[in-house]
Amino acid sequence: MITLHKHGTYELIETKRNIKILYLDKTAYAWVEPWSTKEILVVSRHPHITDCILSIGDYCLYDLRSEPHLPGKQFLDLEVGDDTWQGYLLLTGLPTTRRKRVRIIASHEVVTNNPAYSSNEQMQTIKHPNKRKGELYEVTGSV
């Protein structure tokens, strides 16, 4: 079962030291690629100076339970264009003060606006404002 845990706006920036920072609303995570592992998110408490903005848009964070095609604890969809989404699997959820580093895996799957997942009886359509255009669009999720 997939349930919408949280949605809002995100910003992906890069600092002068070529460190990517992902802001989900006001919460900052460093998005790093250590040579020994794949990409990870790390809790970040320090203020960051933006050198360039890589992406801005909406995000949807879903909780996954007993979903055969999406193993893991949470799934993050980032809007990368006009109603175009990129999905990421978070095997252990977002980083916390206890678990400071978590793997983030790019996925070919997208939950937001995907009819395969909206057929779930727990899922329904949520409308929220698209701040950049002033119109409404739909995000599939549970309320």
Return the structure tokens found at 110.
């997208």
29 phi and psi, to 5 degrees?
Answer: -130, 130
Tokens of 74: 């949470």
Q: How many helical (H) and strand (E) elements, i.e. helices and strands, does the chain have?
A: 1, 11
Q: Write the DSSP string, 77-114.
A: EEEEETTEEEEEEETT-S--SSS-EEE-EEES---TT-
Nearby residues of 36 by Cβ (< 8 Å), 6 or more positions away = none
What is the pTM for the complete model shown? 0.79
Per residue of the chain (143 residues), give pLDDT as tens: 788 999 999 999 999 988 999 999 999 999 998 877 789 999 988 888 899 999 999 999 999 887 777 777 899 999 998 889 999 999 899 999 899 999 999 998 898 888 877 655 444 444 444 444 444 444 444 43
